[in-house]
Each structure stands twice: as structure tokens, then as C-alpha cells.
Amino acid sequence: MRLLKRISLVGLVVLAGLVSGWFQLVGQAAKATNNVGFSVAAQLPKNQIDAKNSFYDLKLTPGQNETLKATVYNETNRDIKVRVGIHTAWTNANGAIDYTNVPKSFDPSLQNPMSQISQLQGPKTITVPANSQKVVTTQVKLPKDTTDGVILGGWFFKRVDQKVTSTVKNANNIHSAYAYVIGMKFTIGKVPAPKLVLGKLDAGTYNYHGGIIVNLRNPKAVIVPNLKMNTKVTSLSSGKVVKQLKKDNVQMAPNTVYRYPMLVGETKLKAGRYHIHMVVKNSAHRWVFDRNFTITKAAAKQANAAVADQQGYNLWLLFGLGALAMLVLVLLVWLLIYWLKRRRQNNDSH
């Protein structure tokens, strides 16, 4: 259920800014003809670094205040409701920068989350009149002790009066459109050099699949793009390779942790001592990590139990669906027999 919920939300989101070059441009924030029912556009201020970008790409200084405005366009013949919010960008388990979901926690190196320094002015749910538009505002207050680097996030707009599943023209990799995100990228002073750190290693689950969860941290206020990862985990007791995995095109947001799931399939995790060898690189940097670590009996048992519970749930779900299918089939057969008998009786009476 958790997996379906996550996939559905991602499939319905249109990123209306950021993710090009260092990111990837997924959609346009500018007002455009679409079948979604609404669109959004950023009103870019004078301190925009690149006016060609449709997202907020701003140069700020510590202690600076900035008022940002965006326009929400209603392209329908009735009033609509749109929920708005400011999100802090983070790196999700797919190795992508996420502007739409809110993580359970952030890396301790994150001093000024976008959601804290940017405050919406007015209600979080707005009503936009039919065939009209409404301007929404957020107030940015940068603390005086803000360090150099990049603060990354997004201004989230989601229509809440009804579900819409459609497409947006002139956009790439879009399945449907229900929400927009206008990217927010604030650059303060000189951007620091990238530095990745290998964090906690332990047994865990991802979407009810067991594996080793590798925490790769980016403690610096800088985007680290286009990473290639080659990771091997070896059992110290047997010398055998437990899991070897490669992953490309990983994008790390500033001051975030990438909880990289190395799933082991149907194999049960075993307690013991292991060694990890990980190489992470892009065109400009390369990091090599080696570390021995321990999976405790308690951690292995917990991860295996979560997988077993989900397998049991899936089994009962299959039984339930099978029983329902049989019930429908029996009902159809009974209706067919009843209809044939009635037809025969009618023929005999004539």
C-alpha cells in the first residue's frame, strides 16, 4: 500500500522548474495550454541569476529578506481550490532530488531548511475564481549567520477540489498532471566543494523488501549531480560477496542523506560481520569508502519479520482476490443457467 501511494503521487506530479543541467527540466513553470485545469508561473525578481530559468534561481546574502510571488491560473469554468506549500529538497531512495514529498527527518548538517526560511503569506488552501487568476506570496527571511552554499526547495501547488489525470504539452517524462512544483534555488556567497561521507550501515527494509541500507551523506550546501555508484558487500566470515550493485544518475540535494537500499531479494538477512567497498564518482570527483560493519541479530530479525509480514499480507490478498473472482464466476454461471431456463420455458409455452 505504501508503495502504491508513493508511485501514484510521483506519477501525478509535474515539476514546474528545477532539475535541468545539474537537475533535469521536467516541466515549464510558465503559463501554458494544458488539460489540467490550472497552471502556475513564478514572478521572477531582479536578483534572478538566470532569467531564462522559469524557477527561482536567486542570489541572496545573509540576513536578506525577499518577497516572492507566483500566479495561479484557473483555466476552468468554475472555482477551484489549490493547496500550496513550501518544501525542502532532499534525496529520496531512488537517488533523485525530491521536491514533492516531506521526509521523516533531515541530515543534521542542514541549518536552514527552505520550509523554515520561506513562509507563505495567507491561507495554505486558496480559491481561484473561474477563468481567473490569483497571486500568492511567500516571505523569505535568511538568517544573518547563514553560511555559503545552496539552499534548495520547491513551491508546491496541488489542486484539491477534484482529481485530474491528464498531460501537459511541451513537457518530458510526464504521465499525468495533478500538481506543480516551482523550484527554489538560493545561492549564498561561494558554493563549497562537494564532500560525501559514508554514514550508518544496517539491515532494513524498503517497500517491504529486505536489504542493507547504506546511508551516503552530503553534508555540504552544494548539489552533487550525476553520480555513478559501484558497491560491494562481503561477508567477513565466509569471504563471499553478499551483494554487488551499480547505480547511475544519482542526484544529491544539498545537506541530505541518501538512504541507498541494497535489496537482497528473497534471501533472508543474516546477522554477522560484513565489509562494504563503495566507489562514488562523477565527471569531477571520486570518493572511495571501505568499512567493516555489523548486522545484529535484532536488526536482521526485524527486517526479515517485516518482509515476512508483507508476504503473508500479499498471500491473503491473493486468496481474497481469488475467492472474489470465483464468486463472480459462479454468479455469472448461475445467471447464464437462469437465463437459459427462462428462455426454454418461454419457448415451450409458445
Q: Over the stretch 169-184, which tens digit does the pLDDT of each residue have? A: 333 333 344 789 999 9
pLDDT of residue 197: 97
How high is the mean pLDDT of the chain? Answer: 82
Q: Which residues of 264-285 are buried (b: 16+ CB within 10 A; e: fewer)?
A: beeeebbeeebebebebebeee
Least reliable range by pLDDT among 1-10, 101-110, 116-125, 299-308? 1-10
pLDDT of residue 203: 86
Is-contact 80 73, C-beta < 8 A? no
Sheet holding 286-295, edge to edge: 241-252, 224-235, 272-281, 286-295
pLDDT of residue 211: 86
Confidence check: pLDDT of 321 > 90: no
Confidence check: pLDDT of 348 > 70: no
pLDDT of residue 301: 85
- Amino acid found at 279: V
Cα gap 243→203, rounded to integer Å: 13
Residues 205-254 pLDDT 10s:
887 788 899 999 999 999 999 999 999 999 999 999 999 999 999 999 99
Confidence check: pLDDT of 293 > 70: yes
Q: Bridge-partner residues for 158, per DSSP?
A: 83, 179
For residue 262, the tally of other CB atoms under 10 A from its CB is: 21
- Percentage of the chain lying above the pLDDT 70 cut: 79
- Structural domains in the chain, CATH included, are 2-188 (2.60.40.10), 197-300 (2.60.40.10)
CA atoms within 13 A on the CB side of 128: 28
Is-contact 185 56, C-beta < 8 A? yes
pLDDT of residue 336: 82
Q: Bridge-partner residues for 125, per DSSP?
A: 83
Concatenating the DSSP letter of every residue in 12-79 gives: TEEE-S--BTTB------S---BSSSEEEEEE--TTBS-TT-SSEEEEE-TT-EEEEEEEEEE-SSS-
- Percentage of the chain lying above the pLDDT 90 cut: 60
Which residues lie below 8 Å from residue 338, measured CB to CB, with a gap of 6+? none
Rounded average pLDDT over 195-201: 96
pLDDT of residue 306: 65
Cα gap 104→5, rounded to integer Å: 16
Rounded average pLDDT over 188-192: 96
Q: Bridge-partner residues for 289, per DSSP?
A: 278
Which DSSP symbol is given to 192?
P
Rounded average pLDDT over 270-289: 96
Confidence check: pLDDT of 33 > 50: no
pLDDT confidence band for 165 (50 / 70 / 90): very low
Residues 52-94 pLDDT 10s:
999 999 999 999 999 999 999 999 999 999 999 999 999 999 9
